[in-house]
Structure 1
């Protein structure tokens, strides 16, 4: 039994998450349905960006051991990603009611305020978590995310570096540093830190995606295409990876291949205006103005905030159509 538990935990620490889930599910039923095992299963699904399955595991763990606070920080992060404000508020209240002097409780409350865009209040709770448990690397990373959301990059980077000092394999902090360098257009530094994150967790679709974006911005187009393809191979439902891959293919003037990616993306994200806008541009390049107009109009309906840019593209398309008609005449 101990060997089975250790094997599952070893696989999880190596970020072989699907293998870890399989190993834990091979445990006897009475051992699988324990708070610790379900927390590990939830973490494995979380690392694979399978938030629904992760949430199910954490909720089951919470039912079995309602006072287990360790793991609630990830549980709350999943609710943050899923934008589940009411369940997150309920979880925060439960955590604080049970132990307001727990670093994990403070992380849950911090995530709750972060989802409500109250970054300064969230930071107070994450900093409180650090005071209560100075060796909790994830609290530093959450603080870094909040500073980054406030565009306070210097403090964000200090938090990420503190997290790495505590745990060199805390890839989230390496990603955080890479993301800041990307936003600062320091693409070589961004690439370096994102590759460090991938060395730790080589099965992460988001990490491959962000590395691909950094490489594309650094004009390393072929490498970018490879990284984005890896991201999609790991998670075929990763919308950002498909969108960025389409952008790279457009840069390479491979419009038919870009069209395939964008059509697939429409099925995954049917209400994303930016996808239809790029589709319109691709159809225009392929000499299909009617399809271009259909997609640009759809983009205008879905993204009124980008109306000026989309209307300019529609006007440009109409002018070209009129010019073509005059030439034919």
Structure 2
């Protein structure tokens, strides 16, 4: 028993550690990485002639982490790069893993980068004549052949750590086909990572610091966790790989290979009494965020497994109900009704989300169907908040608002239920009790400030109270959460039509104020806007007449004769009634005014021509 409790405690602590690491970088779920096995060594780590440091295989087609660990375990001595890749390809085919296992490389090109800015593939030979020195472009073409001829999906450090130009070209030309990992290039230095992101120098980073990991994830890069060639047998690299959801991980150490599967498989068979055992099950349950994850667990047969599975399934919401709620807010009521009917056939005693179904029936005014649903939930469990809301919706549809309020209050006594506050606010609006409606809506907003119905209800209540400024504010809030609902836009438009917001007199006084203060440019701007509005509405009157006179005079003063001519011509054609303040202005005045415009225009043209002749 002590041994089992110790195993459970270790598993619980591991779950907490993985969740903490995952939260550090904002991962929504924990995923085991694809292990990358180093099968051929080169570079400074081996006594052969290979310039490139490591050739790896990645079992991407394995159905589980345990199966992936079984796929890779051989390391022959190879002398030439393509020979090694050819051997790996042949081994994969003969092992029956074609399509399931791919190849990765750690080139460590900085080791064979020479001072003349070339790459010496024969740098390990004592009698090196330099015949195998190639340029960065030639090395890039070599990598392209690796990618095209072999199932190569990852190349780490393909160029020298300061050869940014070739990194950029390689990423642009091959980045969609292969993962280009920066290790020596980036050393997970956030400044170098930022530079690589801006210049598109690679598309993956070798894991060495949390801040660089966050930056790389935001850029859409992949992650690889490094084992540092057996420096330690500490298993934390495995925990870190899972917590950060790295794309590939190198399980070179025996401890790294066994810690995760051994920990997971050794824990179901223990005493689930209160203590560390129960906490282990609870932590594992919190990680099961979907049915797929639950089914993928390889747990031993134990009576506690049945309770664990049942609890996980009950906490995992069916996606159909989520889609139903989305369709309700999109007002696709017919689709939602069909979906709920189908689910009720499969689960006739379900109570969760039935209030959403009643809202659909209420919106469709399906009184008979809503009545049937209300009677059904009463027989099933009438003391559920959902039942009270369904009955309240039924009474609301029948126009019995007082009874509806009673059932919504009952729902709130059973639970501080969001939709009950909102629905009760709707009832108070129907009963013209705006103060009670506002109080109910505000309580609903405190619980869920993202429900557009609550903001819309507040807008309706303030509109009924003759307070369009408040109503406009709340209608805008509702439109922010549901911008495609025409009802909300129509309600906001009605606010603009109220007398309080239709401030034409205030607008005219603002124009006159600018005119008195000598701000003729601002006055002309507002006169033009006011004139456009009056033209659109077909209005006549002294305000329009005064606007035409001011604009004609203003543009003439500023030598804008074309605009002045337009407004002066409109004055000649003006047929509306003028106020007594303008009665003294006869038709001759406009002819004289227009004549002055023509004279000024001709004078300006003559002076310009005279100046051109002098030049």
Residues 452, 479 of structure 2: 8 Å contact kept: no
Task: Indicate the RMSD between aligned Cα atoms, in angstroms.
Answer: 3.9
State the partner residue of 2:282.
Answer: 31
State the partner residue of 2:294.
Answer: 65
Gaps of 5+ in 1: 1-26, 39-58, 85-113, 291-316
Distance across 2 between alignment mates of 1:183 and 1:164: 18
Structure 2 residue 382 is matched with structure 1 residue 164: no
Task: Report the alpha carbon displacement of residue 149 of structure 1 after superposing the two structures with TM.
Answer: 7.4
Higher strand share: 2
1:149 to 1:205, Cα distance in 2 relative to 1, 3 A: closer
1:142 to 1:321, Cα distance in 2 relative to 1, 3 A: closer
Gaps of 5+ in 2: 1-277, 296-308, 505-532, 544-577, 579-615
Instruction: Please say which of residues 73-82 and 185-194 is displaced more in the overlay.
Output: 73-82
Task: Report the alpha carbon displacement of residue 175 of structure 1 after superposing the two structures with TM.
Answer: 0.8
Alignment of 1:1-329 (within 5 A): 28=279, 31-34=282-285, 60-66=289-295, 68=310, 70=314, 75-83=319-327, 117=335, 119=337, 123=341, 126-130=344-348, 136-138=350-352, 152-154=366-368, 156-202=370-416, 204-285=417-498, 286-288=500-502, 321-322=537-538, 325-326=540-541, 328=543
1:319 to 1:224, Cα distance in 2 relative to 1, 3 A: farther
1:259 to 1:149, Cα distance in 2 relative to 1, 3 A: closer
1:62 to 1:129, Cα distance in 2 relative to 1, 3 A: same
Distance across 2 between alignment mates of 1:257 and 1:164: 40
**Given the two structures, how large is their TM-score scaled by the length of structure 2?**
0.31
Residues 462, 471 of structure 2: 8 Å contact kept: yes
1:74 to 1:189, Cα distance in 2 relative to 1, 3 A: farther
- Kindly provide the CA deviation profile for residues 93-122 of structure 1, in whole angstroms up to 9, marking residues without a partner as x: xxxxxxxxxxxxxxxxxxxxx987284685
- Kindly provide the CA deviation profile for residues 74-93 of structure 1, in whole angstroms up to 9, marking residues without a partner as x: 55322321349xxxxxxxxx
Distance across 2 between alignment mates of 1:139 and 1:270: 24
Secondary structure of 2:459 counterpart? helix
**Given the two structures, how large is their TM-score scaled by the length of structure 1?**
0.54
State the partner residue of 1:44.
Answer: none
Distance across 1 between alignment mates of 2:359 and 2:479: 30
Task: Report the alpha carbon displacement of residue 213 of structure 1 after superposing the two structures with TM.
Answer: 0.6
Rg bigger for which structure? 2
Residues 205, 238 of structure 1: 8 Å contact kept: no
Task: Report the alpha carbon displacement of residue 166 of structure 1 after superposing the two structures with TM.
Answer: 3.4
Residues 83, 115 of structure 1: 8 Å contact kept: yes
- Kindly provide the CA deviation profile for residues 118-165 of structure 1, in whole angstroms up to 9, marking residues without a partner as x: 8468536524533xxxx6545987886787677553453344334234
1:217 to 1:145, Cα distance in 2 relative to 1, 3 A: closer
Distance across 2 between alignment mates of 1:233 and 1:139: 21
- Kindly provide the CA deviation profile for residues 232-282 of structure 1, in whole angstroms up to 9, marking residues without a partner as x: 122111111111110110110111111221233333333333222222221
Distance across 2 between alignment mates of 1:143 and 1:269: 20
Distance across 2 between alignment mates of 1:161 and 1:237: 31
Larger relative contact order (C-alpha < 8 A, sep ≥ 6)? 2
Residues 462, 470 of structure 2: 8 Å contact kept: yes
State the partner residue of 2:170.
Answer: none
1:177 to 1:168, Cα distance in 2 relative to 1, 3 A: closer
